[in-house]
Amino acid sequence: MNATRALGRYGEDLAVRALIAVGMTVLARNWRCGRAGEIDIVARDADALVVCEVKTRRTSLFEHPMAALTPVKKERLRHLAACWLERSGGPPSGGVRIDLVGVLLPRRGAPVVEHARGVV
């Protein structure tokens, strides 16, 4: 596994822990829909389905992880959410939400995990 992939996997592991800590249930990780792409985390928050994008960055090397959600990425996430719903039998009673988890890894100290709900 290369360093970039390992960093992303570590960030996703931290994101899963953070989502579970706030009462969400993780349904899938790294779910693929053909060539359309991949959903990092699919979860359930009460009656809502949550499609979660995870962005992990090391401090000061790149833009803040929460700034990485471009209009193109938002559209891709909408398409992937529709693909999940088509394959799973439709939307739950609580609807669908797209969240972003940003993980910032400082040189020293604990990682910072930020969860933004309903970003799309």
Token output for 116: 């933004």
Q: Region 12-20: what's the mean pLDDT?
A: 97
pLDDT value, residue 23: 97
Q: Region 24-31: what's the mean pLDDT?
A: 97
Token output for 41: 């985390």
Is residue 51 within 8 A of residue 98, CB to CB? The reply is yes
3-state secondary structure of 81: helix
Q: Which residues partner with 105 through β-bridges?
A: 58
Number of separate helices (H) and strands (E) present in the chain: 2, 5
Tens of pLDDT, residue by residue over 5-14, are 888 899 999 9
> Could you write out the DSSP letters of every residue in 32-54?
E-GGG-EEEEEEEETTEEEEEEE
pLDDT value, residue 4: 82
Which helix H or strand E contains 79, and what residues bound it? helix 71-88
Question: What value, to the nearest 5°, has the Cα angle with vertex 51 and ends 35 and 41?
Answer: 80
Tens of pLDDT, residue by residue over 45-82, are 999 999 999 999 887 666 677 777 888 999 999 999 99
> What is the length of the chain?
120
Distance, CA of 32 to CA of 115 (rounded, Å): 22
3-state secondary structure of 96: strand
Q: Which CATH architecture best describes the domain 3-116?
A: 3-Layer(aba) Sandwich (3.40)
pLDDT value, residue 96: 96
